[in-house]
Amino acid sequence: MSLHNPALRDRACLIVHGPDQPGIVAAVAALVTRNRGNIVSLDQYSSDPVEGDFFQRVVFHRPDLVAATAEIEADLAQTLGPFGLEWTLTDQSVPKRMAILASKSDHCLLDLLWRHRRGELPVTVPMVISNHTNTAEDVRTFGVPFFHVPSQPGPDKSESEAQILKLLEGNVDFVVLARYMQVISGDFLERVGVPVINIHHSFLPAFIGAGPYRKAKERGVKLIGATAHYVTEDLDEGPIIEQDVVRVTHVDTAEELQRRGADVERAVLSRAVAWHAEDRVIRQGNHTIVF
C-alpha cells in the first residue's frame, strides 16, 4: 500500500515507561532478541536511579513484523506486566495521519506541507481545516484536501468544534495547530482523542495577552522565540516539545519582530512534528522526554 514506507518495512518502535527498577533494560533486550528482533537504536532515560521514572525507546528490525506483531505484544504484556510498565509498539513503516488546523497565516502550514512533499516528515496529511479560505488553493496544489469551517462568533465554539471533530473522527492520528487562532475548548480536547500540537511565540520575559510583539518591542527584548507543545486545558501551558530563539535589535520594528518570529515558529513546529511522528517524544506529567 502506497502509504507505507518500504525503507522502514519491518521496523518496530517500542516505547516503555513506568517506575524504574533493576532489570528492565535486560528484560526488554532479551524480549527483542527472543522475538528475532535486531535493535537498530535504543535510548533510555531514568529520572532517578532510585525510585525514579524509567523511559525507553527501542527501534528494532524484525522480518515479517506484521505477522509477528500479535505474538510480540503478548510477550510484552507478559514480560512488562510484572514491572508495572506501560508500553506501545508501533510499525514504523505506517506513517501517522496528521491533520493541520490553520487560520490566515500560512508560514507554518506551508512549511509543513512542503517538508512533507520533500519526504522530511513520516506522515500523511489527510486534511487541512481552516477558519479562513485564503490558503485553500495552496493547500490543494500540494494534493491535500482543504475544508473550510468558519469560526463561530461569540464565546460558544461548540458548533464549529463539532464540525471539526466530525471531519477528524477516525481519520487522523494527531492534530497540528499551525497558527490556528481559535481557542480550543477542554471539551474538544477530550473528544478529539488524539494528541494536539501547538506552536506559539515565546519571549524572555513572557508577554501575556494581546500584542505580544509590540510589548516585546517596548521592553527592548534582544531575543524572540517560539515554543511547540502538546495542548492541554491550560492553553499555551502544555508539555514543551521544542523551543528556539533568534536575535533581534532595537532597529527591528514590531512588524520585523513578528516576521523573524514567524521564521522561528515554522522551524520549531516542523522539528516538533517530525519528532512526534517518529515516536521520539514521551509525555510525563507536564514535561517531555525527547529521544
Residues lying near a second copy in the complex (CB under 8 A): 21-30, 32-33, 37-46, 49, 61, 106-107, 110, 114, 118, 120, 138, 141, 202-206, 217-223, 225, 227, 239-240, 242-245, 249-251, 259, 263, 267, 285-290
C-alpha cell at 59: 527501534
CB of residue 237 to a second copy, shortest distance in Å: 8
Sheet holding 240-247, edge to edge: 146-148, 123-130, 96-102, 174-178, 196-203, 223-230, 240-247
- Taking the complex as a whole, the smallest distance from the CB of residue 13 to a second copy amounts, in Å, to 14
65 vs 172, which CB is nearer to a second copy? 65
DSSP 207: -
Please report, in angstroms and rounded to a whole number, the separation of the first and last CA atoms in the chain. Answer: 29
Which cell is 223 given?
A: 531575543
Nearer of residues 43 and 75 to a second copy, judged by Cβ: 43
Which cell is 255 given?
A: 512588524
Smallest separation (angstroms) from a second copy to the CB of 98: 19
Residue 77 CB, shortest distance to a second copy, in Å, is 19
Least distance from a second copy to the Cβ atom of residue 218, Å = 6
Active site residue 252: no
Please tell me which residue in 43, 75, 138, 236 is annotated as part of the active site: 236
Cβ atoms < 10 Å from Cβ of 266: 24
Q: Which is nearer to a second copy, 57 or 157 (CB)?
A: 57
Taking the least distance from each CB to a second copy, the nearer of 180 and 275 is 275
Query: Long-range contact list for 184-187, CB < 8 A, 24+ apart?
Result: 184/231, 184/235, 185/157, 185/158, 185/161, 186/233, 187/158, 187/161
Pick the closer one to a second copy by CB: 110 or 189: 110
State the minimum distance, in angstroms, from the CB of residue 123 to a second copy.
Answer: 16
Q: Considering only CA atoms, which of 30, 46, 11, 41 is closest in space to residue 80?
A: 30
H/E stretch holding 78 reads helix 65-80
Q: Give the integer Cα–Cα distance in Å for 97 and 194.
A: 11
d(CA 187, CA 170): 17
Return all residues near 97 (Cβ < 8 A) that are at least 6 apart: 123, 124, 125, 126, 171, 172, 173, 174
Choice between 90 and 215, CB closer to a second copy: 215
Q: How many other C-beta atoms are found inside a 10 Å radius of the C-beta of residue 50?
A: 7
Catalytic residues: 236
